[in-house]
Amino acid sequence: MKLHEYQAKGIFADAGIPVPDSQLAESVEEALDAVDEIGYPAAIKAQVHVGGRGKAGGIKIATDRDEAETYAEEILGMDLKGYTVETVLVESGVDFVDELYVGVTMDRGEGKPVLMVSTEGGVDIEEVAAESPDAIAREHVDPAFGLHPYQARKVVYNAGVDADVAGDVASIVSTLYDLYEANDATEIEVNPVMITSDRDVVAADAVMNIDEDALFRQPKLAELEDEAYEDDLERKAGEYGFDYVRLSGNVGIIGNGAGLVMTTLDLVDYYGGAPANFLDIGGGAKAERVTNALDMVFSDPNVDSVVFNIFGGITRGDEVAKGINEALSGYDELPKPVVVRLAGTNAEEGMEILNTDLLGVEKTLEAAVQRAVENAKEVSA
């Protein structure tokens, strides 16, 4: 789960990390009220989960009220890489002389959190990592011991941070690690940490991603989950308890098991179609879950055709078929063509009893996907 910049900064501020003064605004008036209070220069920052907001025009610095109004009008409601900006953070502009990058993330290969500090902050850190990996100092943290204080210092000194601010930056690194651990984060990133002409350090941006699997023990963060959704269908999937990702194509995909659903997406692409979503309904395929899954794909206006791919496994194919039929009992006609493919234990028995008045049925994954792609082409033609 990705937190918005303003949410992450709230958490930072509570932990004692210096952040600029800021206010949230959902309209141009609110933005102007905020900027009147905060003063100039003021940054107006789109609150959407999109990398490279600045380059894409989602962050502007206003030096007077006219600029503030222009920028607020520009940004509020703009489409940023597919997301509509509904909220901006109006933030006091920081007069900085230097920018650092500071991050904490999980190094999967090592199975350990890693601290990262670079003096090449303020730019795309991925590019820095790719082009001059030595410009990023790294320090792995042993998850049993947690962070030793010397490690925060070491990564800061190794990065070559100026001596006069090294202590303050180490203190930010240390606090970020504490937050990483306490909040079950998967990633925390501040890019840039700004160094002002007075040699103060300020966290000028904030990225904080939370491990969804840990929300059960992070009740405060779980409350933010709803605000974190940026798409009504993703919100709905969250309510239904589905793993769901919205994509830009027109073939809706329902399946069980992450690897098999991904494979189904890939095959849609392979056979010339474009997947509209990833939707994993998990094991079993009980009627209620099938009903909800169909609701998801049917209510997505981009979807022209659906492929439903279930590998039965322990759950027998005839039981899966019964669940599907029960879910279909509310329909006289399906709003979009659906092709079903059952496999695994008792798959043939299952396919025999499927309601073929409403559904197309195919025996192989390849055939089912090809037919769904054709259906989509026909509908959208």
Partner 1 sequence: MSIFVDDDTRVVVQGITGGEGKFHAEQMIEYGTNVVAGAVPGKGGQEAAGVPVYDTVDAAVEAEDANASVIFVPPAFAADAIFEALDTDLDLAVAITEGIPTQDMAKVNKRLGETDTRLLGPNCPGIITPGEAKLGILPGNIFADGNVGLVSRSGTLTYQVVDNLTERGIGQTTAIGIGGDPIIGTSFIDALEAFEADTETDAVVMCGEIGGEDEEQAARFIGEHMDTPVAGFIAGRTAPPGKRMGHAGAIVSGSGTGTAESKIDALNDAGVPVGDTPEEVADHIESFL
**Annotated binding residue 289:** no
Q: Is 257 annotated as a binding residue?
A: no
Active-site residue, selected from the candidate residues 5, 120, 139, 189? 189
Amino acid making up residue 170 = A
Residue with Cβ nearer a second copy (145 or 216): 145
Nearer to partner 1 (CB atom), residue 90 or residue 372: 372
Q: Which one of a second copy, partner 1, none interacts with residue 33, CB within 5 to 8 A by kind? A: none
**∠109-258-263 over CA atoms, to 5°?**
100
Which residue from 36, 37, 142, 348 is in contact with a second copy, where contact means CB under 8 A?
Answer: 142
Could you say which of 6, 71, 101, 244 is catalytic?
101
Of 198 and 216, the one with the shorter C-beta distance to a second copy is: 216
When the beta carbons of 74 and 374 are compared against partner 1, the nearer one is 374
Q: Is 53 among the annotated ligand-binding positions?
A: yes
Q: Please report whether residue 145 would count as binding a second copy according to CB under 8 A.
A: yes
The distance of closest approach from Cβ of residue 145 to a second copy in the complex, given in angstroms and rounded to an integer, is 5
277 in a known ligand binding site: no
When asked if residue 111 is in the footprint of a second copy (CB under 8 A), the reply is: no
Minimum separation from the CB atom of position 189 to partner 1 (A)? 10
For residues 157 and 193, the answer to whether their CB atoms sit within 8 Å is no
* Whole-Å CA distances, 243 to 94, 220, 254, 296, 350: 40, 22, 10, 12, 25
**Tokens describing residue 71:** 């920028």
- Residue 91, marked binder: yes
Is 366 annotated as contributing to ligand binding? Answer: no
Q: Is 163 in the site for a second copy (CB under 8 A)?
A: no
Q: Nearest approach, Cβ of 146 to a second copy (angstroms)?
A: 9
139 catalytic residue (yes or no): no
Looking at the DSSP bridge assignments, the partners of residue 279 are 244
Q: Closest distance between a second copy and the C-beta of residue 178, in Å? A: 16
Is 348 annotated as ligand-binding?
A: no
Cβ–Cβ < 8 Å for 31, 44: yes
Site string for a second copy, 292-331 (x = CB under 8 A): ----------------------------------------
- 373, 275 contact by CB (below 8 A): no
Contact 310, 322 (CB under 8 A): no
Q: Which is nearer to partner 1, 55 or 333 (CB)?
A: 55
CB of 144 vs a second copy, minimal distance in Å: 4
CB closer to partner 1 out of 33 and 234: 234
72 near 88, Cβ under 8 Å? yes
From CA 375, how far away is CA 381, in angstroms rounded? 10
Structure tokens at 346: 């008792």
What does 205-272 look like in DSSP terms, one character per residue? --EEEE-GGGGGG-HHHHHTHHHH--SHHHHHHHHHT-EEEE-SSSEEEEESSHHHHHHHHHHHHHTT
What is the rounded CA–CA span in Å between residue 301 and residue 299?
Answer: 6
**Catalytic-residue membership of 126:** no
CA–CA separation, 80 vs 89, rounded Å?
A: 15
Of 163, 188, 7, 21, nearest to 102 by C-alpha is 188
Annotated binding-site residue numbers for substrate = 256, 313-315
Annotated binding-site residue numbers = 45, 52-54, 91, 94, 99, 191, 205, 256, 313-315
Mind telling me the catalytic residues? 101, 189
Contact residues toward a second copy (CB under 8 A) are 142, 144-145
